[in-house]
Structure 1
Amino acid sequence: MIPHSTTHHSLLGLRSTLRRLAHQLRLPVELRARLALAVSQVAAGELGAGRSVSLHVSREADPDSGRTALTVRLRTPLAPRPPSLKDLPLPAHRMPGAAAVWHLPQSAEPPPRAPVPTTGAPGVADLLEEELRAAVARADRLAEDHKRLKHELAETNSGVLALYVQLEERDEQLRRAHGQMLRELEDALRPPPVRVDGLEMAVHYEPAGTDAPTGGDLYDWFLLPDGRVHITLVDALGHGVTSTRSALNVTHAVRTLALEGHPLDSIVERTDEILLPFDRELMATVLLARINPSGGGLTLANGSHPPALVVREDGSTEFLDVRGRGIGYPLPGSERLLYEELAPGDLLVLYTDGLTESRRDPREGERRLQEAAGRHRHLPIEKIPGAIAADMHTVILHPDDTVALTVRRTREDSA
C-alpha cells in the first residue's frame, strides 16, 4: 500500500481516498480528520476550477528530526500559482515539486499492513461518523475540563479573596496597633498640665494624619524654682518620628537651660548653639512663655513662631507679637522680651501654625482664631482648646500637625 499515488478530479474523491488510506495506516482519528481537512483546504481551489491534483503517500525520513515519518504530498501541476498554506488544521510545508507536504511521525515499528478490503470494511460515512464521534468526545472532554477549571478557578478566587480580606484585616490591625503605639509614645512625650493655684491649663493636639500620629509639634510646661510656670511650644520642620525627635531635643534643651537659670531672652539662641552641632538639618520655631500665677505677669520670647493670643474677660482680643528667629535659622534668638499682665478671667492661647494656616490666608486664620477663642472663652478650660480647633478646622486645605494650648487666670474667689 505504501507508496501510494492517485490523481483526483473531485474534492469528494480526494477526501474519500485520503480517509480510507489513513484508516488503513491506523492514523489516530483526530489526526486523520485534521489531515483530510488540511489537504481538502489546499486542493479545494484547484478542484473547484476543474483542474486535477495528485496525492502521494510514502514513508520517508523527516528532514527536521531524521526519524521515519509518513509523508503526504499534494501536487497541483496545473495551478497558476502555489495555493495558500495559511491557517490549516494540520500545518504543512512547501517543498519543490509539491504544493504542500505533511510529515506525520511514525513509530519505529512500521504499521501492520491493512487487510484486504471486504464488504465489511468501513465506508466513508463510517469513517466520518467515527471522526464526528471523536470530535464530540473531545468537545465533551474540553467542556468537562473547562467546567473543572472554572470550578477550581472559582475556589482559587474565593481563597484569594478570603486571603485579601485577611490581609486587609491584618493590615488594619497593624495600622491600629502602630497608631496606638505612637499615640502612647506621644502621650509619654506630652506632660500633663501644671497644677498651680491661680492658673488653669489645657491642651489639644491633632496630628496631620491618623496613620502617623507623631509629628514635630510639641509642648512642655513645668514649674520654675521661683514659682512661675514656664511653657515651651515647638514646631519642628517635617512630620513623623524624625520631626518628633527634633522637637523633643528642643524641649529638653530649653527645659535644661530654664532650670539652670539662663535668662529667657537667651534661651532660643543658646538652644541653637547646643543642638545645631549634632543636627545640621534641624529647623524649628519656638515660643517661650513665663507666667506668674499670683500676679498674672506674663513674659514672652519668640523664635519665628506664630504670636500668642490673649482674650480678655470682656471678650476683646490681642495678638502678642514678638519678633525673632527660630532654631536653625540665621541669627537665631528672640529680639526682645514682651511683658504683659493677665487679669483674672483672661485667656492666653498658644498654638502652632497648623491651627491658623489650614486655609490659604494666614491673616484670615488669625481673624477666625480671635473669633473662636472669644466665643469659647467661658467654657471649662479642658474643653476650650478642642472647641477652638474644631472651629478652625471646619475646612482644611493643607492639613498640618496642630497644638492649641490655653491658660486662663482664675478669679481670686475661685483660687
Structure 2
Amino acid sequence: MDLSRTESAPHGTPAAPDLAQAGLLVSLRRRVRAACGEAGIPVEDRARLVLAVTLLADPVLGAGGTVDLDTAVTAGVLTIGVRLPEPWPPPRLDDLPQPAALTDGGRVVWRLVAGDRPVPAPADDELATRQELLALTARADALVREGRALRHELAETNSGVLAMYVELEQRDEQLRHAHARIFRGLEDALRPLPPAVPGLELGVCYSPTEADSPTGGDLYDWFVLPDGRLHVTLVDAVGHGVTSTRDALTVTHAIRTLALDGHPFRDLIAHASRTLTTIAPALMATVLLARIDPGTGATQLANGGHPEPVLVGASGDTRFLRPPVVGRGVGFPDPGSPCLVELDLGPGATLLLYTDGLVESRKDVDEGQARLLEVARRHAGRPVPDLPREVVARMHDVVVYADDTVLLAIRRPAADARR
C-alpha cells in the first residue's frame, strides 16, 4: 500500500496575516493527523509529530514563506517530509519533540512504524489538540509514577549507587523541562483565540503560576451559538498540574457539547456535573458561564461557586454581579446555578470574567476585590485587547500567593464606535 502525496501550504493574505497563518497551521496539522490516522499511529506519537511540524512551519509561514508537506506509507512505515523554502537556515532538529532527520536536499523527514489498524483523529483542530494533550498528560503521569517507584528502589540500595541516583535526578529534571516545553506549546493551542462576534470586542490574558510551569486548571472556552449569541465558559479545576488541566478540559468540553445540543442555559452546570460524576468521580471545579446577545446586549450569567464577574459601565463605574443565591460547581454537593444574573450590557459597558488568582495574590480576597474595582475603573478606557493584560499586571504588582490567573474582557462598543 502506497498512500504517498505531497501538500503545499499557500502564502498568507496580507490583510489578516495572523489569521491566515493560523489557518495554514491548522491545515498542516490536519494533514499530519490524517496521515497518522490512516497509518494507525498512536495518539501520543501523533501529538509529538503534530507539535514538531507546527514548530517547524510556524516561523516560515509567519515570514510569508511556504511549507511543502508530503506523506507516504510503505512497508509498514509512515514517512512524513517537510521541505522549507530556500535559502532558509537549517532547523535545529534537537529542539523538536519528535526525532527527525535532515536529508541532503534540505528536507526534514520523520519515520514512524505504522500500526495494525487506523487511529482516526477528530476533524476539529481544537478537539484533536485536546485529545493529544490528554494522551501526553497521561504519559507524563505514568512517567512521574515510574520515577517515584525508581527513586524508592534506589533509596533502599547501598551508598555505592549514589552517583547513579544523582545522574537519574538530572535526567528527570531534563525530562520535566522537555515536557514543560511540549505542554506550553499545546497550552497555546488550548487557549482559543477570541471568536469574531459583530457587536462585541473580546480580550484575554492568561498568567501561569510560574513561567516554566506546565498547564494548570484555569481554562476557558468561547464560541458563537447558531442563534448568534456568544457563549463563554470559565473553569477553575481543583488541584494543580496536568491532572487539573485534564479535569478543566473535561468540564469545558462537556459544557460545550451540552450547550450546542440545546440544553437550557440554567441547567448546564448541574447537567455537566451529573454527567461527569460517573466518568470522573474525583473531579471538582468552579464554573462561570455567560451568554450574550451582541445585538441587544441581553446577558445571562450562571455561577457555580466562581468569583463574581465585574461590570464596568460606560462612565467607568464598577460593581460586582452577585446572584441572590450562590451556586456550586461541578463535583460539589448540590451543583448548579439556582439563580441567574440577568442584565443589559449597554453600549460602552465591559464585562470582566476571571479566576480567583486575580484577587488572591496578597492572600486577602476582600482587599483584592476592592483593588479590582478600582483598577478596572482607572483603566476602563483602554482598548479591550490590552485591558486584561494591564489589569493583571496592576493586580499582581505584589504577589504573596501565586496562582494561575485568567481574565476575559467582553465589551459592547459605544454607538459611535459601532458606526
Asked if Structure 1 and Structure 2 have the same fold, meaning a TM-score greater than 0.5 normalized by the shorter chain, the answer is: yes
Q: Which deviates more, 327-336 or 208-217?
A: 208-217
Deviation of 1:210 after TM superposition, in Å, equals 2.2
Per-residue displacement from partner, 1:117-165 (whole Å, max 9, x unpaired)? xxxxxxxxxxxxxxxxxxxxxxxxxxxxxxxxxxxxxxxxxxxxxxx9x
Q: Do 1:289 and 1:300's aligned partners in 2 also have CA atoms closer than 8 Å?
A: yes
- 1:259 maps to what in 2? 260
1:365 and 2:368 aligned: yes
- 1:182/1:371 Cα in 2 relative to 1: closer, same or farther (>3 Å)? same
| Matching residue within 411, 414, 419 for 1:411 | 414
Q: Give the letter for the 1:407 counterpart.
A: I
In structure 2, the residue matched to 1:310 is: 311
Q: Does 1:352 align with 2:355?
A: yes
Residues in 1 aligned to 2:172 and 2:304: alpha-carbon distance in whole angstroms: 41
Which whole-Å CA distance do the structure 2 matches of 1:286 and 1:175 have between them? 30
The answer on whether the counterparts of 1:198 and 1:412 sit within 8 Å (CA) in structure 2 is: no
Q: Distance in 1 between matches of 2:404 and 2:246?
A: 15
**Deviations 1:171-190, CA, capped at 9 Å, x for gaps:** 98766543332111111212
Pair 1:329 & 2:332 matched: yes
Tell me which amino acid in the other structure corresponds to 1:375.
R
User: CA-atom RMSD, angstroms?
Assistant: 2.0
- Please list, as runs of the form range in 1=range in 2, the aligned pairs for 1:25-44 lying within 5 A after superposition: none
Q: 1:214 matched to which residue of 2? A: 215
* Aligned twin of 2:110: none
- Residues in 1 aligned to 2:349 and 2:212: alpha-carbon distance in whole angstroms: 37
Q: Distance in 2 between matches of 1:175 and 1:223?
A: 37
8 Å Cα contact 1:179/1:210 also seen in 2: no
Paired with 2:200 and 2:378, the residues of 1 have a C-alpha distance of: 20
**Residue deviations 1:252-283 (CA, integer Å, cap 9, x gap):** 00001111111111000000011111111111
Q: Verify: 1:179 aligned to 2:180, yes or no.
A: yes
TM-score (norm 2): 0.57
The alpha carbon displacement at 1:413 in A equals 3.1
Deviation for aligned residue 1:213: 3.1
Q: Give runs of aligned pairs for residues 272-311 of structure 1, distance below 5 A.
A: 272-311=273-312
Answer yes or no: is the 8 Å Cα contact 1:193–1:202 preserved in 2: yes
Q: Which structure: larger Rg? A: 1
Q: Which residue of 1 aligns with 2:398?
A: 395
Distance apart, 1:209 and its partner CA: 1.8
Residues 55-94 of structure 1: matches in 2 within 5 Å? none
What amino acid is the match of 1:201? L
CA distance in 1, matches of 2:393, 2:315: 23
Residues 213 and 240 in structure 1, CA contact (< 8 A), matched pair in contact too: yes
Q: What is residue 234 of structure 1 aligned with on the other side?
A: 235
- Taking only the aligned residue pairs, the percentage that are identical comes to 55
Q: Which amino acid aligns with 2:354?
A: Y
Cα offsets for 1:62-118 (capped at 9, x unmatched): xxxxxxxxxxxxxxxxxxxxxxxxxxxxxxxxxxxxxxxxxxxxxxxxxxxxxxxxx
**Residue aligned with 1:238, SS:** coil
Q: TM-score, normalised by structure 1?
A: 0.58
Match for 1:353: what amino acid?
A: D
Q: Gaps (5+ residues) in structure 1?
A: 1-163
Matches within 5 A, 1:96-175: none
- Number of residue pairs the alignment of both structures matches: 250
Q: Which ranges of structure 2 fall in alignment gaps of 5 or more residues? A: 1-165
Q: Which amino acid is 1:380 matched to?
A: P
**What one-letter code is carried by the residue in structure 2 that aligns with 1:401?**
D
Partner Cα distance (2:373, 2:411) in 1 = 15
Secondary structure of 2:302's counterpart equals: strand
